[in-house]
């Protein structure tokens, strides 16, 4: 049985179609990443799968239950962590966890060893008496995750859980997710960080409510047609405009201190790129073919 299955899932808000004919299957025991910019429909999909929203049309099944009709039986089997998790700042770490344990009717006998394990798991044990409002951003996210896990869910829905979190805390958070994966928890995570998408078993690229492509990070990268070349030179903004107008160039953009150029025919266009830049007075520091990143693929895939 699949963990999650969506068939023609659609949700509109007035004239706006937030999720448009989504067809998606998530296997048990995998990390599936939903990738896309703000406004692409990621949060709406999370809420549809969690039973918080009802679809306008289509259906989603989670753990075999049609969510639009049987959301209540799922409550004890899934965990949902929103972008801004509802922590209570004037309660301590322990008080927040006990509050969510009460919401899920976790028995007193079960919760004590479970909470102690989760505190150790998330490295929050030294801070259990600290007010939630006095935690760092990364610690608040770990506390949110702990609260979402207190009833031992089979599927964990995480909506951009590391948004605004420092790199070290992001790394620690993903370490926890991999530990959960080894325990059999299915993880459905949305993120705007494409480097995090690389950590998922499979990903889906979202844009304006539509699923553009789906597969493993490697499979999605292989969908990119043409060759990608990296150019290093001064005055990148002006250089990009020159490169965009060359024959055989499908697209060009600035990536940090370099320029990425997508070519239809790499061998034929390489010499043309170097020649055009030098004739325009640019010193070409390097020019080389590179494998595409997910960011390159996403930019090339998004409809212009």
Are 217 and 297 spatial neighbours (Cβ–Cβ below 8 Å)?
no
pLDDT tens figures, 230-262 = 999 988 999 999 998 888 888 899 988 999 999
Q: Give the residues of the chain that fall short of pLDDT 50.
A: none
What is the Cβ-side half-sphere exposure of residue 255, based on CA atoms within 13 angstroms?
A: 19
Cα 6 to its chain centre, rounded Å, is 18
Q: May I ask the CATH class of domain 4-221? A: alpha beta
**pLDDT at 96 (0 to 100):** 95
- Count of other CB atoms within 10 angstroms of residue 196: 22
**pLDDT at 268 (0 to 100):** 62
**pLDDT at 304 (0 to 100):** 62
Bridge-based pairing state of the strands 227-233 and 186-191: unpaired
pLDDT tens figures, 134-147 = 998 889 989 999 99
Distance CA 106, CA 101 (A): 5
The owner of tokens 């929050």 is 124
Q: Give the largest Cα separation in the chain, rounded.
A: 77
How deeply is 182 buried, as exposed, middle or buried, from its count of CB atoms within 10 A (0-12, 13-18, 19+)?
Answer: exposed
Phi, psi torsion values for 31, nearest 5 degrees: -100, 115
Q: Comparing C-alpha atoms, which of 96, 92, 62 is closest to residue 76?
A: 62
Here the tokens at position 299 are: 């930019």
Dihedral-angle region of residue 209 (phi above 0 means left; psi in -120 to 50 means alpha; beta otherwise): left
Dihedral-angle region of residue 131 (phi above 0 means left; psi in -120 to 50 means alpha; beta otherwise): beta
Could you write out the DSSP letters of every residue in 128-164? TTSBGGGS-HHHHHHHHHHHHHTT--SEEEEESTTTT
Q: Comparing C-alpha atoms, which of 186, 114, 122 is closest to residue 153?
A: 186
- Count of other CB atoms within 10 angstroms of residue 302: 14
Q: Comparing C-alpha atoms, which of 59, 49, 133 is closest to residue 93?
A: 133
Domain limits of the chain?
Answer: 4-221, 227-301
Domains 4-221 and 227-301 fall in the same CATH topology: no
Distance CA 44, CA 39 (A): 9
**pLDDT at 267 (0 to 100):** 61
**pLDDT at 85 (0 to 100):** 66
**pLDDT at 216 (0 to 100):** 96
Considering the domain 227-301 in this protein, what is its CATH number? 3.30.70.100
Here the tokens at position 156 are: 């964990």
């Amino acid at each position: 049985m699949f963990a999650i299955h969506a068939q023609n899932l659609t949700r509109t808000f007035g004239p706006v179609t937030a999720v448009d004919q989504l067809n998606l299957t998530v296997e048990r025991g995998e990390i599936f990443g939903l990738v896309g910019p703000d406004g692409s429909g990621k949060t709406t999909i999370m809420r549809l799968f969690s039973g918080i929203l009802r679809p306008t049309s289509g259906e989603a099944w989670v753990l075999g239950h049609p969510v639009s009709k049987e959301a209540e039986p799922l409550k004890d089997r899934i965990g949902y962590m929103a972008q801004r998790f509802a922590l209570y700042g004037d309660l301590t770490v322990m008080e927040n966890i006990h509050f969510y344990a009460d919401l899920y009717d976790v028995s007193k006998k079960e919760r004590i060893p479970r909470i102690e394990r989760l505190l150790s798991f998330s490295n929050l044990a030294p801070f259990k008496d600290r007010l939630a409002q006095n935690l760092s951003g990364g610690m608040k996210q770990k506390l949110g995750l702990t609260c979402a896990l207190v009833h031992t869910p089979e599927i964990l829905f995480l909506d951009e859980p590391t948004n605004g979190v420092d790199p070290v805390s992001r790394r620690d958070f993903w370490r926890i997710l991999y530990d959960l994966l080894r325990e059999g928890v299915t993880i459905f995570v949305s993120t705007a960080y494409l480097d995090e998408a690389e950590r998922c078993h499979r990903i889906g690229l979202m844009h304006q409510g539509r699923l553009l492509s789906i597969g493993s990070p490697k499979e999605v990268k292989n969908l990119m047609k043409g060759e990608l070349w990296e150019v290093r030179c001064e005055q990148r903004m002006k250089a990009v405009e020159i490169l965009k107008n060359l024959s055989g160039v499908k697209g060009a953009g600035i990536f940090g201190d370099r320029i990425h150029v997508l070519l239809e025919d790499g061998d034929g266009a390489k010499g043309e790129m170097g020649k055009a830049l030098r004739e325009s007075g640019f010193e070409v520091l390097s020019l080389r073919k590179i494998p595409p990143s997910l960011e390159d693929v996403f930019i090339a895939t998004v409809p212009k």
